[in-house]
A = this chain, B = another copy of it.
Protein backbone atom coordinates (compact mmCIF):
# COMPACT_ATOMS: atom_id res chain seq x y z
CA UNK A 1 0.00 0.00 0.00
CA UNK A 2 1.61 3.23 -1.14
CA UNK A 3 1.58 6.43 0.84
CA UNK A 4 -0.88 8.12 -1.49
CA UNK A 5 -3.11 5.05 -1.42
CA UNK A 6 -3.11 5.05 2.34
CA UNK A 7 -3.86 8.75 2.29
CA UNK A 8 -6.87 8.18 0.08
CA UNK A 9 -8.20 5.53 2.42
CA UNK A 10 -7.82 7.95 5.30
CA UNK A 11 -9.58 10.70 3.38
CA UNK A 12 -12.47 8.45 2.39
CA UNK A 13 -12.80 7.34 5.97
CA UNK A 14 -13.03 10.89 7.29
CA UNK A 15 -15.72 11.78 4.78
CA UNK A 16 -17.79 8.65 5.37
CA UNK A 17 -17.38 8.97 9.10
CA UNK A 18 -18.98 12.39 8.80
CA UNK A 19 -21.81 11.07 6.64
CA UNK A 20 -20.63 12.95 3.59
CA UNK A 21 -20.71 11.71 0.03
CA UNK A 22 -17.25 11.00 -1.26
CA UNK A 23 -16.69 13.36 -4.17
CA UNK A 24 -13.65 14.55 -6.07
CA UNK A 25 -13.77 18.08 -4.73
CA UNK A 26 -14.13 17.02 -1.11
CA UNK A 27 -11.33 14.48 -1.43
CA UNK A 28 -9.02 16.98 -3.06
CA UNK A 29 -9.73 19.78 -0.59
CA UNK A 30 -9.39 17.48 2.40
CA UNK A 31 -6.13 16.19 0.96
CA UNK A 32 -4.88 19.77 0.76
CA UNK A 33 -5.58 20.30 4.43
CA UNK A 34 -3.93 17.01 5.39
CA UNK A 35 -0.78 17.76 3.40
CA UNK A 36 -0.49 21.31 4.71
CA UNK A 37 0.57 21.78 8.29
CA UNK A 38 -0.82 25.31 8.29
CA UNK A 39 -4.12 26.98 7.70
CA UNK A 40 -5.63 27.71 4.31
CA UNK A 41 -7.63 30.63 3.06
CA UNK A 42 -10.36 30.18 0.51
CA UNK A 43 -8.08 31.70 -2.12
CA UNK A 44 -5.26 29.27 -1.35
CA UNK A 45 -7.58 26.37 -1.98
CA UNK A 46 -8.80 27.76 -5.27
CA UNK A 47 -5.22 28.24 -6.45
CA UNK A 48 -3.95 24.87 -5.27
CA UNK A 49 -6.79 22.93 -6.79
CA UNK A 50 -5.83 24.53 -10.08
CA UNK A 51 -9.27 25.96 -10.71
CA UNK A 52 -10.52 22.44 -11.15
CA UNK A 53 -13.63 23.12 -9.14
CA UNK A 54 -16.17 25.88 -9.21
CA UNK A 55 -15.76 28.68 -6.67
CA UNK A 56 -19.17 27.88 -5.31
CA UNK A 57 -18.19 24.26 -4.74
CA UNK A 58 -15.18 25.33 -2.73
CA UNK A 59 -17.32 27.64 -0.62
CA UNK A 60 -19.89 24.94 -0.03
CA UNK A 61 -17.28 22.32 0.75
CA UNK A 62 -15.67 24.54 3.37
CA UNK A 63 -19.10 25.26 4.79
CA UNK A 64 -19.92 21.56 5.08
CA UNK A 65 -16.52 20.78 6.59
CA UNK A 66 -17.16 23.51 9.14
CA UNK A 67 -20.59 22.14 10.05
CA UNK A 68 -19.19 18.67 10.48
CA UNK A 69 -16.33 19.94 12.59
CA UNK A 70 -13.65 18.75 10.18
CA UNK A 71 -12.16 22.21 9.93
CA UNK A 72 -12.43 25.39 11.95
CA UNK A 73 -11.68 29.05 11.38
CA UNK A 74 -8.72 30.87 12.82
CA UNK A 75 -8.94 34.51 13.88
CA UNK A 76 -6.69 36.91 12.02
CA UNK A 77 -6.13 40.61 12.46
CA UNK A 78 -6.62 41.28 8.79
CA UNK A 79 -9.82 40.44 6.99
CA UNK A 80 -8.85 37.03 5.68
CA UNK A 81 -10.65 33.94 6.91
CA UNK A 82 -8.39 30.97 7.38
CA UNK A 83 -9.37 27.38 7.91
CA UNK A 84 -7.47 24.59 9.58
CA UNK A 85 -8.07 20.92 10.25
CA UNK A 86 -9.56 20.05 13.57
CA UNK A 87 -7.54 17.56 15.51
CA UNK A 88 -8.83 14.64 17.53
CA UNK A 89 -12.37 14.57 18.82
CA UNK A 90 -13.79 17.59 17.14
CA UNK A 91 -16.98 16.00 15.92
CA UNK A 92 -19.43 18.80 16.65
CA UNK A 93 -19.86 22.04 14.83
CA UNK A 94 -18.67 23.81 17.91
CA UNK A 95 -14.95 23.70 18.07
CA UNK A 96 -12.81 24.26 21.08
CA UNK A 97 -9.34 24.73 19.82
CA UNK A 98 -6.70 24.96 22.45
CA UNK A 99 -3.49 25.56 20.58
CA UNK A 100 -1.84 28.78 19.53
CA UNK A 101 -1.79 29.93 15.91
CA UNK A 102 1.17 31.68 14.38
CA UNK A 103 0.75 34.06 11.45
CA UNK A 104 3.95 34.85 9.60
CA UNK A 105 4.13 38.47 8.54
CA UNK A 106 6.66 37.57 5.87
CA UNK A 107 5.21 34.60 3.99
CA UNK A 108 1.66 35.06 5.23
CA UNK A 109 1.26 31.43 6.26
CA UNK A 110 -0.67 30.44 9.33
CA UNK A 111 0.85 27.64 11.32
CA UNK A 112 -0.85 25.62 14.04
CA UNK A 113 1.51 25.36 16.99
CA UNK A 114 0.08 22.08 18.23
CA UNK A 115 2.45 21.93 21.17
CA UNK A 116 1.69 25.39 22.47
CA UNK A 117 -1.51 25.48 24.48
CA UNK A 118 -3.53 28.64 25.00
CA UNK A 119 -3.01 29.83 28.56
CA UNK A 120 -6.03 30.44 30.75
CA UNK A 121 -6.95 33.97 31.70
CA UNK A 122 -9.25 35.27 34.39
CA UNK A 123 -12.14 37.31 33.08
CA UNK A 124 -14.08 40.00 34.93
CA UNK A 125 -17.27 38.83 36.65
CA UNK A 126 -20.19 38.29 34.35
CA UNK A 127 -18.28 37.12 31.32
CA UNK A 128 -19.02 33.48 30.47
CA UNK A 129 -16.20 32.19 28.28
CA UNK A 130 -16.75 29.47 25.73
CA UNK A 131 -13.60 29.51 23.69
CA UNK A 132 -10.12 30.99 23.96
CA UNK A 133 -8.11 31.75 20.88
CA UNK A 134 -4.63 33.11 20.62
CA UNK A 135 -2.83 34.38 17.56
CA UNK A 136 0.83 35.29 17.49
CA UNK A 137 2.10 37.39 14.62
CA UNK A 138 5.76 37.44 13.69
CA UNK A 139 8.38 35.75 11.53
CA UNK A 140 8.18 31.99 11.16
CA UNK A 141 10.97 29.42 11.11
CA UNK A 142 11.21 29.34 7.33
CA UNK A 143 11.43 33.10 6.90
CA UNK A 144 14.18 33.93 9.42
* A138–B74 CA distance with the chains assembled, in angstroms: 16
Q: How many A residues, CB 8 Å from partner?
A: 40
Tell me whether A116 and B123 are in contact (CB under 8 A).
Answer: yes
Do A144 and B126 touch across chains, with their CB atoms under 8 A apart? yes
Inter-chain CA distance A93–B131, complex, in Å, is: 29
The segment out of A11-19, A47-55, A76-84 that lies at the interface is A76-84
> Which residue of the partner chain B has the closest CB to A143?
B128
Q: What is the CB-to-nearest-CB distance from A53 to chain B, in angstroms, rounded to a whole number?
A: 21
Q: Does A102 contact B (CB under 8 A)?
A: yes
Return the CB mask of A104-117 against B: 1 if under 8 Å, else 0.
01000000010110
* Docked-complex contact A137 and B127, CB < 8 angstroms: no
Contacts A79-B81, A119-B119, A123-B113 given; indicate if A138 touches B134 (C-beta within 8 A): no
User: What is the 8 Å Cβ interface bit string for chain A, positions 22-50, against chain B (1 contact, 0 not)?
Assistant: 00000000000000000000000000000
Q: Is A91 an interface residue (CB 8 A)?
A: no
3 closest residue pairs by CB, A with B = A126-B141, A75-B75, A129-B138
